[in-house]
Homo-oligomer: A and B are copies of this chain.
Amino acid sequence: MIPIPKGFSVAGVRCGLKNKRNDLGMIVSDRESNSAGVFTTNYVRASSVNYSRKVVESGKLRAIVVNSGNANCCTGEQGERDTARMAELAARELGLETDQIAVGSTGIIGHLLDMSKVERGIKDAGQKLGMDARAFMDAILTTDLVEKWAWVTSDNHEVVSPQSLSQRHHDSDQGGLLIGFAKGSGMIAPNMATMLGFMVSDMDVSDLDFQPILKRVADVSFNCMTVDGDTSTNDMLILLTNGASGIKATEAEFEAALTAVCTSLAKQVARDGEGATKLVEVRVTGTSDPKKIARTIGESPLVKTAMFGCDPNWGRILMAAGRAGVPFQTGDVRLSLIMGDEEHILFEDSGPASFDAKRVSSALKSDHVIIDLKLGDGDQATVYTCDFGYGYVRINAEYHT
């Protein structure tokens, strides 16, 4: 059972923008909320991004309406009118004002929304508001294979996610709740966040300044994730809290909870990258800019195809590190791969280590690989990515067929 924070309700319905799944979702708070948002940095962006940024900045956000199957991007003035119309329809349905509604869209670019379907969907969703998190999540997915969600409570900061649920229980009714939903599996890169991410909490944190908190958290979670180096036109990450649990949290407590949830979601998105067979965590320590090096490794098609092929090809990893534009000495390099309890050193003391290539290749079949690259003393940075196989090509070359 996936919990919904107190004072919130959600819905997900099918209005016909996609073939088989739900495609219209809503999240509504029954009272005033505090919110923040982080949006795509792409110069080509959807009208929903511009619209929702203004709503978040106004401080009046109460509800989110989101459709999948059509990103309503590059659709000119009609697209802008359709975004405003989505907010208007949702406002009418919910008895709210237009400037209390954020709008999200994801899917194919450059096609006008079929507004008769959207209108029907918004009415239907308004009628079905409730606690069905799965119906909502289904409505925000596109090429995603799995739902992405993660939650913590004020009593227990251990994250509950699809990866952990069967192993542990903790009671979501206790204390305040923070839950996050995300979608995204292609066109994902740092410098903006998750495709769509909605963080919802009933904790009472109304005195906090959310915007810088959300920006900091995005920088160490969603902005550390890359599937293919491409950044969507529609990305948005919205945080919505209403205090309905009455449970207070300090800034440090809330930021820790938000970081845990967003990091879990970033890993889930990377693991579900288009065509991916595994989550690849790239950890780099040392140099003046370990994040830049980790990102360059995480975006290298040669590294990612080697991960797909279970090939412990340290040469490609070092090549990618070396082209990041950040100086280091090969004499300082220590490179290992970590799969579960096994760590295999591939390179140290200025040359390749002696390792059993067959055994490492076999271990690389794991669905979670950590590339651990030490280039000296200093800060560590982590980037979440995935491998790169036939599936990515199939999904992206045969999208229309």
Name A residues whose Cβ lies closer than 8 Å to a Cβ of B.
41-45, 71, 73-77, 108-111, 186-187, 189, 191, 228-233, 299-302, 305-306, 308-309, 311, 313-316, 318-328, 330, 347, 350-352, 388-390, 392-394, 396-401
Contact = CB atoms under 8 A, between A and B. Distances in A.
A306 B309 CA distance: 23
Main secondary structure of the interface of A (DSSP, over half): loop
Contacts of A401: 309
Contact of A309 (B74, B299, B352, B396): B396
A397 B43 contact: no
Nearest to A234: B319
A231 B323 contact: yes
B316 A109 contact: yes
A354 B76 CA distance: 14
Task: Give the top 9 A-B pairs by smallest Cβ distance, nearest first.
Answer: A109-B315, A44-B322, A309-B397, A305-B396, A76-B351, A43-B322, A231-B323, A42-B322, A228-B301
Nearest to A318: B44
Identical copies in the complex: 2
A95 B343 CA distance: 51
Given A76-B351, A350-B77, A319 B388 contact: no
Contacts of A396: 301-302, 305-306, 309
Contacts of A390: 390, 393-394
B330 A393 contact: no
Contacts of A232: 319
Contacts of A392: 301, 305, 393
A376 to B, nearest CB: 13
A363 to B, nearest CB: 15
A281 B383 CA distance: 32
Contact of A397 (B73, B300, B308, B322): B308
A376 B103 CA distance: 31
A161 B314 CA distance: 37
A330 B43 CA distance: 8
Contact of A319 (B77, B187, B320, B326): B187
18 contacts: A44-B318, A74-B318, A74-B347, A110-B314, A187-B319, A189-B323, A229-B229, A229-B299, A230-B301, A230-B319, A230-B320, A232-B319, A233-B322, A301-B396, A305-B396, A306-B399, A309-B400, A313-B399
